């Protein structure tokens, strides 16, 4: 039995980061520290398996941090640069940085801030909700809660969660699956943010039609960018999205209610930009981008 405990720093204690930090602490296999704006000594985690409360060590000043084995970067994509002081102190040449953010091009977004550390892109499927600074909730959405590339570093990331009730799958075709996750995000996030409604809004007939238009454009762009998608991909994805819990929110929904800037440029913006690069029109997504950017700028 391997008694080695990895040192793990979690940057960002929102819904996704809070769930990851609390789950790792509950597993008890690693030395976990949370990096954030306010000190916490405990985290309460609601989960289908039962509620738990765990002690957690937190840092609020990057100057108190030192290099670790793993950094879980769980800020919003647009806040990556603001995490630079943490990354500078936490990353050494042997550090692996798991980028648990929405969007694509994880490595390009993070590389300027981590020196010689290793980027491990991930896809997060579980729905994490931050109910209070010390209280988070997880909803399991698919067969895997997270996904990583089937590489040495991706397998090491999966091993990090071996004794934790968060499942990590591996894939040799990470590009396709990253695009599939982006397709979910460009539907769920803008619609819930603009309507200020949880995911039950996706069941409305008019919204179902809008979902299909968004996905038709997304599939065309994803294929041009190298994703290996099926002929009925848009329909399959629409059905999958339609099965999400009606009371679940989204990151942009919660940010809209809280008056925070939105991830629209990292999500829909990435789709529109890549579509333009390949000469593929995206009128529906371009319209949604204009609307969500307006909300984000007003919140900013």
Residues marked as catalytic: 181
Judge whether 275 and 221 are in contact, CB under 8 Å: yes
* E strands in 50-200: 52-55, 57-59, 70-73, 96-99, 118-121, 123-124, 127-132, 135-139, 146-149, 168-171
Q: How far apart are CA 102 and CA 97, in angstroms?
A: 15
The first and second tokens of residue 161, run together, are 């969660």
The first and second tokens of residue 159, run together, are 């091993």
Q: How far apart are CA 266 and CA 186, in angstroms?
A: 10
Burial of 277 (0-12, 13-18, 19+ CB in 10 A): exposed
Query: CB under 8 Å to 224, separation ≥6 — which residues?
Result: 274, 275, 278, 280
The first and second tokens of residue 209, run together, are 């039609």
Q: How far apart are CA 114 and CA 92, in angstroms?
A: 8
Q: Coil, helix or strand for 25?
A: helix
The first and second tokens of residue 259, run together, are 């008056």
Q: How far apart are CA 227 and CA 275, in angstroms?
A: 13
CA 293 to chain centre: 19
Judge whether 15 and 251 are in contact, CB under 8 Å: yes
């Amino acid at each position: 039995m391997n008694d080695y405990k990895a040192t793990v720093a979690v940057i960002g204690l929102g819904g996704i980061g809070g769930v990851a930090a609390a789950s790792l602490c509950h597993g008890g296999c690693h030395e976990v520290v949370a990096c954030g704006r306010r000190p916490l000594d405990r985290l309460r985690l609601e989960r289908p398996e039962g509620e738990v409360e765990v002690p957690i060590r937190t840092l609020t000043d990057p100057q108190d941090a030192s290099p670790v084995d793993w950094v879980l970067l769980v800020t919003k994509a647009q806040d990556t640069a603001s995490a630079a002081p943490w990354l500078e102190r936490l990353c050494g040449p042997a550090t692996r940085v798991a980028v648990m953010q929405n969007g694509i091009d994880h490595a390009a977004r993070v590389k300027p801030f981590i020196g010689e550390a290793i980027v491990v892109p991930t896809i997060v499927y579980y729905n994490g909700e931050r109910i209070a600074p010390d209280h988070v909730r997880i909803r399991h959405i698919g067969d895997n809660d997270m996904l990583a590339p089937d590489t040495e570093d991706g397998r090491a990331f999966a091993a990090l969660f071996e004794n934790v009730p968060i499942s990590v799958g591996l894939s040799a075709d990470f590009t396709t699956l990253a695009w599939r996750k982006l397709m979910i995000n460009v539907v769920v996030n803008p619609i819930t943010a603009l309507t200020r409604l949880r995911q039950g809004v996706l069941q409305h007939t008019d919204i179902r039609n809008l979902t299909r238009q968004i996905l038709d454009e997304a599939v065309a762009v994803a294929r041009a960018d190298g994703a290996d998608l099926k002929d009925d991909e848009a329909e399959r994805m629409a059905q999958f999205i339609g099965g999400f819990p009606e009371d679940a929110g989204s990151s942009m929904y919660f940010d809209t209610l809280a008056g925070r800037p939105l991830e629209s440029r990292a999500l829909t913006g990435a789709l529109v930009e890549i579509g333009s690069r390949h000469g593929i029109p995206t009128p529906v997504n371009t319209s949604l981008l204009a609307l969500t950017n307006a909300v984000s700028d007003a919140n900013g």
